[in-house]
Amino acid sequence: QRLTISSSLAAPPELVWPHITSTAGINEELWPLHMTGPEEGFSREYAKLGRPLFVSVLSLLSVMPIDVHELTLQELEAGEGFHEDSRSLLEKRWVHKRSVRPFEGGSIVVDELEFEPRVFPQLVARIVRKVFERRHAVLRRKFGKLRVDHGWSRERAESAREQAQSVSVATLRVAKGMV
C-alpha cells in the first residue's frame, strides 16, 4: 500500500520541524491515538541510524493498546526530514518518509508511506489514510494553511485548460494519421 499527502503551511521549516519530530507534537497530530516514545523525539544526537531507536506502544486514548511498533530511522536530516523503515505487530513493513522544506514564504510538509499490513489490508489502508489526513489537518490548524497566489485569474486558467485540450486533440489526430 502507498500513500502520499502534503500540506503547505504558513510557518517556516524551523518552527515546524521541532513539532513534527517531538513525541508531544506527534501525539498532538495522532490524537485520539497515542504513541509512546522518548521525550526528545528524533534528535540527531539521539538517533542510531539503521538500528531500532525505540519500541513504541500505539494506543487508543492512551488506554487501549492497538499496536507495538519498533521504530528504526534510516536517514535523519535535522530541519529537513527523516526516513523511517520499521515494523510492528500489525505491519510487516512500515516505511515513512517525512520532509519539511521552505515553500512560498512558509513550508511544505510531505509524508510518503509504504506499508504492508499483516491483516485486513484494505481496512488498514483506509485507517492509515484517515490518520494522516487528520495529522495534516492538525498541522494546518496549528501553523496555518499557506495560501499561494500564482496570479492566475479564472479566465487565464480556462485559457490554459483549453490550450492543453487543443494540443491533446492535435496530438491524437497526428497519432491517428488524421492530419
For 83-135, what is each residue's pLDDT tens digit?
999 999 999 999 999 999 998 889 999 999 999 999 999 999 999 999 999 99
Predicted pLDDT of residue 43: 64
Q: How confident is the model at residue 45 (pLDDT cuts 50, 70, 90)?
A: low
Q: Is residue 79 left, alpha or beta, with left meaning phi > 0 and alpha meaning psi from -120 to 50?
A: left
* Paired residues of 57 in beta bridges: 68
Q: Is the pLDDT of residue 156 over 60?
A: no
d(CA 179, CA 113): 45
pTM: 0.78
**pLDDT for 148:** 63
Per DSSP (E only), the strands in the chain are 2-9, 33-35, 52-60, 64-77, 81-88, 91-103, 106-117
What letter does residue 45 receive in the DSSP assignment? T
Give 80's DSSP letter: T
Q: What is the mean pLDDT of the chain?
A: 84
Instruction: Reply yes or no on whether the pLDDT at 152 is more than 80.
Output: no
Report the percentage of the chain scoring pLDDT > 90.
64
